[in-house]
Structure 1
Amino acid sequence: MPLDWGAAMLSWQADSIKGFLLHLVLLSTAWETGSGQLQYSISEESQHGTFVGRIAQDLGLEVSELVPRMFRLVSKDRKDYLEVNVQNGILFVNSRIDREELCAASVVCMIHLEALVDKPLRVFHVEVEILDINDNAPVFPLIEKHFAIAESSIRDAQFPLEGASDADTNANSLLTYKLSPNAHFTLAVTENYEHSASLFLVLKKPLDREESTVHHLLLTATDGGQPQLTGTVQLVIKVLDANDNPPAFNQSIYKVQLFENSDSGLLAISLNVTDLDEGANKEVSYISSSFSPPNGKEKFVLDQETGEIHVKGSIDFEDRNFYEIQVEAKDKGNPPLSGHCKVLIEVLDVNDNAPEVTVSSLSVPVPENSSPGTVVALISISDRDSGANGQVTCSLWPPGLPFKLTSTFKNYYSLVLAEPLDREQVAEYSLVLIAQDQGDPPLTASSSVVVPISDMNDNAPTFAQPSYTVFVRENNPPGAHIFTVSASDPDVAENALVSYWLDEKLWPLSSYISVHSESGKLYALQPLDYEELKLLEFQVRAKDAGLPSLCGNVTVQVFVLDENDNAPAVSGLAEDTPIQVKVPVAAGHLVGKIHALDGDSGYNAWLRYELYDASSGPWRVGLYSGEISTTRALDESEGSNIQSLLVLVKDHGKPVLSTTATFSVSLVASAQAVQSDAHLSRMGGSRKPLADTANLYLIIAICSVSSLFLLVILVYVALRCQSEEKEAMMYGPGTATLVCASEVGSWSYSNRHSHILAGVSGEAGAKSDLMVFSPNIPVLAENGKELVPNAVGQVSCSNSF
């Protein structure tokens, strides 16, 4: 019998070792084909500094780049069992590792590490398997076990024994048992469940209490490690008389399944025994002799009278998923007999743990010029449940954001940029990472991540419109502020700090115009003279302070407005030589003509002529023509008379500027006609008869006045002038602009920038002066109101007097 049992044990150990090696081969193959990461192995209890592996070489990293790229190890359980020497790239043991403390009774014990490097950010997953060594000897629950066996016990009667436990795994925990030599008992071992073996003390020879009342045996347990370790228990057997039939369970092993979180007081199982005796020998009480693990007595309670096992405390699958209870049923005979059974309780998982989301290595803020695929953060998820309850998927909310999740390893994700960014549209993103398991019902967890976007100088300064038109009166004071340009930049900080300067590529402007580099204010550096310069056209450029800087530009047109700063000047008149007029002459005879010029423009240059003393003499002067003629007939009695006429020449400006001219007339007799006609021709007179000349001027004047009046009426009806602006200085934005100058006269500019619609009439005394400009911005009057365009996109105004 012992030889057969020993052979069976050796065969069982060999099969177990083969299965374990096969399991390791399959696990290694699955790792190599599935994970693509690193795996090392190290024995537990290794000394500090023990070599584990050349991790830098295995990860394809140069040792010289470990420090610059901030190589570091992150352990999932946050313990520093292992460390890397960044000087040589070797992974070594940093602190004592106790496999039993770390992984309890798990077959495979792994330490999960994450190796992180920056620039660029990468993560490598490293697993280090902790190999078991035979550092734990088998341990029995008791040092000494007492039995009471009736002498009437039959041959081959079996008495259950509690086996030893070994905290090691695999071959180191494979136990063999040996009973000290004796004449009455032998040991039987039955592998009846995957968690433990059942030991029985078998009676091979009937007991004789009169021969011996107590038997002392030694039970030894030996593990399969190298070297082998042993544990012992002392068996003390007391031989009893009388009660021949012990209680008997209908099963030696009971298996029960319970869901975790079962309510306290729930019935797990009801045990039942039979006893063929009668009376007190048949009355049975139940005793829970042992619990495995020991805290099982806090989870379950056995009713000694009924044999029912109830849930007592909280059952958590994640804490412990298996319990074993040894139950003894003892009758009340004298001596009492007992029966034994084992209750195995398996705890089933329910989905009671929500996933956990952990965000690490968050690289913010993200530059707006980052390319798609840039890693923003590393995310890991976990769930303490098992099976489908522990399978977790991760998603990103809200949808439509320029980010996506990329799976890098089981339960590890990278938050990467999916689309280009624009900080001017969105400066910050709020993301929610949602993890959901596959349980029923599913549980979820979330983690919020804020991703700010940093600015890049990708926007040039821009002006509100492509060009500005500015009107400035001449003779302005030096340094006068004439306009302000302003550019905007949607960037921030120095990327939006704008400075201004003039573009002098076309022609130099430094002597005329300057711009304040910060405010954009335009200044006229010297007085402007309309007679010399009518239009300044230049570009103002705006540049931000980004690196590299970006520029924008705007065209500015400065029109110089005329002031009445030039008095009329008379030309072609010789005062020392009088005009000779032969007498007699009729009334209205043209004697001569005064011609004057004015350096101004428009009304400021429109001249009119008056006699300084209109009451003296038979003379008159044309109001606008400057022609001097007689007011009455002259006869020969007035001959040999020299008269001086003082003619006053005025313009229509405000204030009015004037000058005087002296005109001398000498009245001669008819014999001097030839000299008078010749001199009159030299001064602008005519050889024709006076009546014909006067008629000709009258016809021309009447036709001019009629034509001009008709033209003014047509222009007035077409343009519908609404207001008159006197001495207005106008500048501002707009489209096609019509400007009235003043009561008389008109502004005149180059043909490129202005069109004169109506001119000065003759002596009719009425005038309507219009000028149209075509800048890009509307004109503002002095009161700040905008002149409203008419149906054809122009603004009209007129003056008459």
Structure 2
Amino acid sequence: MTKTKGYRDWRWKAVWWHHFFLLWSTVEGQTRYGIPEELKQGSVVGNLAKDLGLSLSDIFERKLRVASEAGEQYFSVDAGKGELLVNDRIDREALCGQSASCVLTLQVVAENPLQLHRIEVEIRDINDNSPVFLTAERVLKVAESTATGVRFPLDAAQDQDVGSYSVKSYTLSKNECFSLKMKDLPGDRQVPELVLEKSLDREKQSIHHLLLTASDGGNPAKTGTSKITVSVLDNNDNVPVFKKALYNVSVSENSAVGSILVQVDATDADEGVNGEIEYVFAVHTPQSLLSILKLDPTTGEVALIGRLDYESSAKYEISITAKDKGFPEMEGHCRVQILVVDVNDNVPEIIVTSRPNPVRENAPKGTVVALIGARDLDSAENGKVTLQLPKNVPFTLKPSFSNNYELLTNGPLDREKVSQYNIEITAFDSGSPRMSSKKIISVSVSDVNDNAPVFSQPSYNVYLKENGVPGSILYSVSASDLDSGENAKISYSILDSKVQDVSVSSYVYMNSDNGSIYSMHSFDYEKLKVFQIVVQAKDQGSPCLSSNATVHVFILDQNDNAPTVIYPSSAALGSLSHQRMPRSAKAGHLVTKVTAVDADSGHNAWISYRLAEATDTSLFTVNQYTGEVRTKRAVSEQDESSQRLLIEIKDDGEPLQSATTTVSILLEDGLHEPMLELRHKASEPSKKTGRITLYLILSLASVSVLSLVTFLILAVKCIRSSRSSGRDMMSQSQSFRSCMSPMSEYSDFTLIKPSSTTDFKEAFNNTFNNNRFLQKFE
């Protein structure tokens, strides 16, 4: 009952101390676990997620993984529970040899954001190895005359376990002539020695069989044995004696092959062959030493025949035996301890713990890009490593712990300027001479949508002929985006605006993929001369970015309108069927004036007049530019009373457009007589003269007022029409055309709108009626 209770108390204390140790380690910022070696695969080491303060979702989302500095992957993470598991067999002796402490350093890497945790797992020893002697059987030759108390060194047993599980004791099988003593060596080590307790008598017993047993400190203890055979010999009663029992020598690991490391020296008090000495390595010397060291049997010089490597072994211990040539053969023993001095013969190594993920170009300064480690197999200053980066990269290295570094951003990134950095990292050690190595790490810069699309030009001028085919392409705009992927994928659209109070989308259509603009219908220059389109290019980033450009569309006039005759018009001919002229008219007499307009513009609206047919072509002429019809000669009595003129009006367009009008003229006698009579009677003062003068003054005033009113009405009407049609670029381009006929006897001032032939006719009719009114008083 008491035993069970004590066991429980022991278990409780062990658990308490274990948790206390883990808690202390976590508080110090470094997690440490302890497990025995040889655990089964899948055994739980500890709850890694809980100890690192991570949730179970972080284990999966941040791709938590474990990397070992030893290279072998002994552990893994259970993504479902967040536990650290044993992944492979762990043999403490294979990992740490005879080292008293065996700690595996693990690097736990979490991504998004990149973070490195350091944990340590102490591998505790279990008693899984038995003591082993290098030789299973040892033969000693002892002369029967050997004095009691003489000691004979024996081989020490080796146990791969450490601490309490290493070799703790030796026992010798029961024998009345020999006993076992322990000899203390430096480093708290002991080796067994066989002591002669009783004089030997070869005649009684020539061979003694002994059994040496080594026991470790396990419970139960494990043992190993070695058989010792003692042959009793006659005479040769002096053994070789070394000047030193222990020879210490230090040698550089880069010592040349053939170098003499040490010379041992032994003497024998006997004479002759009994005093001649031969040096040999002890029989238990391992082959690894025999491959690099050579012992001269005559001089005792130990020479180097192989290469030393401090990183493989910093110390060698060998046993040397001096044998004489007497009979029986006698032996003396000494030990040589060789300390290897480290030289800087290993190049530092750069280890990429975590491959760099692409870093966003808008990543803030200090963003972790990659985790990098450094290692040098040399020791002390020779193994101290420093990493350096070039000066022209926007990155820096931040030391973390135990030769581990974080590669951080140290400045602004711009993918459009540099999309990938090949960073050359240089590792230097602190040895002499200094050694270095280089490694290139590629860091890709991922795109963010920080560039808006840019049109090839801020505005475009498009010239389009009127009367085009609906659905034809007007123009193609193009924009580019310095970003990549979806951030550089551009779609085009037209921003809504008004053209003559109608949405611009009813005029044009835009292909969103390639930026081509198409007409929705045919355009008429006489109705619309210019309009503008605001196009937008928008990328597919998040958030999306856009830019605008203006497309000015100019409609080019085509000669699609024939000249329109304003006077004489059909309405005017209805009220005045014939033009009258007196037979007394002289050459150059103004008969009438043909007026026409063309709704086109430019050369297409330049009008010329030509007399196409006439009753008498010798009597009349038409001015090519003004349309004035005048007599070429004086009218004779033989000329017919009724004259008919066919006048052709042509524009200057391509192809040419034309129109014709017919003018009928009546030649009458006596049209001049009222005027002559009026002039004759003007010299005679009378009441009628005063009245006529008054009437004439009133008529002139009426005509002036009527002309002014007509001008004002037309001006207001044109301005209103201009404002109603002018929200496009040509709203201010509607203008008035004034025609002053310099060759006319009458000043005909006409205001017209080019796009309205009806207005021309109305204006001309008003002017024509006014002129008729004046002619009555001539």
Is this a same-fold pair by TM over 0.5?
Answer: yes
Separation in structure 1 between the aligned mates of residue 347 and residue 734 of structure 2, nearest angstrom: 80
Structure 2 partner of 1:554: 549
Q: Are 1:655 and 2:655 matched, yes or no?
A: yes
Separation in structure 2 between the aligned mates of residue 45 and residue 236 of structure 1, nearest angstrom: 38
Bigger mean CA offset, 206-215 vs 506-515: 206-215
Return the offset for 1:247.
2.0
Return the offset for 1:467.
0.9
Separation in structure 1 between the aligned mates of residue 471 and residue 46 of structure 2, nearest angstrom: 79
1:394-447 deviation digits (Å, cap 9, x = unpaired): 233x44223333333312233333344333222332233333332333333333
Secondary structure at 1:620's aligned position in 2? strand
Q: Are 1:625 and 2:626 matched, yes or no?
A: yes
The answer to whether the 8 A contact 2:155-2:284 is kept is no
Separation in structure 2 between the aligned mates of residue 177 and residue 370 of structure 1, nearest angstrom: 68
TM-score (norm 2): 0.76
Structure 2 partner of 1:709: none
Separation in structure 1 between the aligned mates of residue 197 and residue 88 of structure 2, nearest angstrom: 53
Separation in structure 2 between the aligned mates of residue 754 and residue 599 of structure 1, nearest angstrom: 13
Return the offset for 1:761.
10
Structure 2 partner of 1:595: 595
C-alpha change, 1:651 and 1:304, in structure 2 (3 Å) is: same
Structure 2 partner of 1:379: 372
The answer to whether the 8 A contact 1:624-1:762 is kept is no
Structure 1 spans left out of the alignment, 5+ residues: 1-23, 679-686, 688-748, 765-801
The answer to whether the 8 A contact 1:254-1:343 is kept is yes
1:194 corresponds to which letter in structure 2? G
C-alpha change, 1:627 and 1:52, in structure 2 (3 Å) is: closer
Structure 2 partner of 1:250: 243
The answer to whether the 8 A contact 1:355-1:436 is kept is yes
Separation in structure 2 between the aligned mates of residue 512 and residue 676 of structure 1, nearest angstrom: 66
Structure 1 partner of 2:333: 340
Structure 2 partner of 1:407: 399
1:272 corresponds to which letter in structure 2? D
Return the offset for 1:293.
4.5
Return the offset for 1:598.
2.0
Q: Are 1:606 and 2:598 matched, yes or no?
A: no
The answer to whether the 8 A contact 1:581-1:676 is kept is no
The answer to whether the 8 A contact 1:145-1:233 is kept is yes
C-alpha change, 1:313 and 1:761, in structure 2 (3 Å) is: farther
Counterparts of 1:179-578 in structure 2, within 5 Å, are 187-194=180-187, 196-203=189-196, 219-291=212-284, 293-396=286-389, 398-506=390-498, 507-573=502-568, 574-575=572-573, 576-578=576-578
The answer to whether the 8 A contact 1:292-1:323 is kept is no
Separation in structure 2 between the aligned mates of residue 333 and residue 663 of structure 1, nearest angstrom: 167
Separation in structure 2 between the aligned mates of residue 359 and residue 473 of structure 1, nearest angstrom: 67
Secondary structure at 2:49's aligned position in 1? helix
Return the offset for 1:752.
4.5
Return the offset for 1:201.
4.0
1:84-106 deviation digits (Å, cap 9, x = unpaired): 54444444545543322322111
The answer to whether the 8 A contact 1:544-1:550 is kept is yes
Secondary structure at 1:296's aligned position in 2? helix
The answer to whether the 8 A contact 1:136-1:168 is kept is yes
2:466 corresponds to which letter in structure 1? E
Bigger mean CA offset, 237-246 vs 299-308: 237-246
Structure 2 partner of 1:14: none
Structure 2 partner of 1:43: 36
Separation in structure 2 between the aligned mates of residue 665 and residue 366 of structure 1, nearest angstrom: 95
Separation in structure 2 between the aligned mates of residue 304 and residue 624 of structure 1, nearest angstrom: 139
Return the offset for 1:77.
3.9
Separation in structure 2 between the aligned mates of residue 586 and residue 103 of structure 1, nearest angstrom: 139
Separation in structure 2 between the aligned mates of residue 562 and residue 496 of structure 1, nearest angstrom: 40
Structure 1 partner of 2:96: 103
Separation in structure 1 between the aligned mates of residue 370 and residue 198 of structure 2, nearest angstrom: 75
Separation in structure 2 between the aligned mates of residue 563 and residue 88 of structure 1, nearest angstrom: 82
C-alpha change, 1:758 and 1:355, in structure 2 (3 Å) is: farther
**Alignment partner for residue 106 of structure 2, among 105, 113, 116?**
113
1:622-664 deviation digits (Å, cap 9, x = unpaired): 33222233333447x5699333333332222233333233333
C-alpha change, 1:521 and 1:239, in structure 2 (3 Å) is: closer
Return the offset for 1:676.
12
Secondary structure at 1:329's aligned position in 2? strand
Bigger mean CA offset, 572-581 vs 637-646: 637-646
The answer to whether the 8 A contact 2:255-2:308 is kept is yes
Return the offset for 1:164.
2.7
Secondary structure at 1:100's aligned position in 2? helix
The answer to whether the 8 A contact 1:639-1:668 is kept is no
Return the offset for 1:557.
1.2
The answer to whether the 8 A contact 1:247-1:339 is kept is yes
Return the offset for 1:246.
2.3
The answer to whether the 8 A contact 2:149-2:197 is kept is yes
The answer to whether the 8 A contact 1:639-1:669 is kept is no
C-alpha change, 1:757 and 1:495, in structure 2 (3 Å) is: farther
Secondary structure at 1:410's aligned position in 2? coil
Separation in structure 2 between the aligned mates of residue 138 and residue 578 of structure 1, nearest angstrom: 149
TM-score (norm 1): 0.74
Separation in structure 2 between the aligned mates of residue 512 and residue 496 of structure 1, nearest angstrom: 29
C-alpha change, 1:57 and 1:657, in structure 2 (3 Å) is: closer
Separation in structure 1 between the aligned mates of residue 407 and residue 208 of structure 2, nearest angstrom: 72
Return the offset for 1:307.
1.4
Secondary structure at 1:197's aligned position in 2? strand
The answer to whether the 8 A contact 1:404-1:418 is kept is yes
Return the offset for 1:120.
3.4
The answer to whether the 8 A contact 2:154-2:193 is kept is yes
1:537 corresponds to which letter in structure 2? Q
1:553 corresponds to which letter in structure 2? N
Bigger mean CA offset, 422-431 vs 43-52: 43-52
C-alpha change, 1:658 and 1:257, in structure 2 (3 Å) is: same
The answer to whether the 8 A contact 1:292-1:324 is kept is no
C-alpha change, 1:761 and 1:675, in structure 2 (3 Å) is: closer
Separation in structure 2 between the aligned mates of residue 582 and residue 759 of structure 1, nearest angstrom: 28
The number of equivalent residue pairs is 667
The answer to whether the 8 A contact 1:471-1:558 is kept is yes
C-alpha change, 1:577 and 1:168, in structure 2 (3 Å) is: closer
Return the offset for 1:257.
2.0
Separation in structure 2 between the aligned mates of residue 756 and residue 73 of structure 1, nearest angstrom: 88
The answer to whether the 8 A contact 2:109-2:354 is kept is no
Return the offset for 1:345.
1.5
Return the offset for 1:342.
0.7
1:359-410 deviation digits (Å, cap 9, x = unpaired): 34425444444444443333333232222232222233x4422333333331
Q: Are 1:161 and 2:154 matched, yes or no?
A: yes
Separation in structure 2 between the aligned mates of residue 479 and residue 54 of structure 1, nearest angstrom: 71
